[in-house]
Structure 1
Amino acid sequence: MQKNSLRKWVMWVLLGTALLIILSLLSILNNVGYSNVKQIIRLQTSGPSILRIEHPTEGMERYLTKDQDNPQERLKSRMTREGWIYEQQEGNGYFFTKGNQQAIVTLRKWNHFYVIYSIKAGIVNLEG
């Protein structure tokens, strides 16, 4: 009889653990967004170092990059490649100019592995 109750207990513990894992994954998927999860996988498996992801605010764009090899310098390099001149940094905002235009790119650490750049839509395409 003891053996049977131990098996039931182990089965309930395993079932509870599996349920917690599934709920955690669903919560992450809900917070991140399905299309953004696809972009994370694409960033991990392909060549681009910066990928566009969905932005919840109309008129803004977000880009995802890995938090390795200095993402601040990657941003400056990409903006310079597009003809923008780095001016200064204030907090998490990076200020760039091009002619009489000004662009402000905010950099936010998303988690241990990724950084998100946010910029007004239509200014520059950082993807690539």
Structure 2
Amino acid sequence: MQVEAFASIIDADRLRQAAQENPKLRDMMVRYEQFFLAQVQQTAACNAAHSVRARACKWLLRMQSLVGDDLVLTQEFLAQMIGVQRSGVNAIAQELQKLEMISYSRGHIRILDRPRIERLACECDAAINAHYAEIFGS
């Protein structure tokens, strides 16, 4: 998990059995697998084609959409999520804070100006969201 939340687990054999017995569940799992593979492909292309700043902004927007304006995370964790060294994330965090787009203190980031961060982010999160909507509906 990337952020604190509640989760449930199920034994793989029980899930497999439930999917065999419930066509709607099986269909949803197949569609989710299609979405997940598309997301992995988009992420690989993003990591190869876009700047560290654009990827960091994309990731911050994604996390804000999931948990709100206050993100509990370290620069090390963010660096792992976007596939760079922590020093690269540190420079970006300092830049975004200087521009008053985020506030950052040890292990906490607060999004202050989403529209400006959106302008710096790559289009990959929007592409992933569009693919999700195509597969699952809005």
Question: Computing the radius of gyration over CA atoms, which structure comes out larger, 1 or 2?
Answer: 1
Higher RCO structure, 1 or 2 (CA under 8 Å, sep 6+): 2
Query: Do they fold alike, i.e. is TM over 0.5?
Result: no
Bin for the TM-score computed over the shorter chain? 0.3 to 0.5
Give the structure-2-normalised TM-score.
0.33
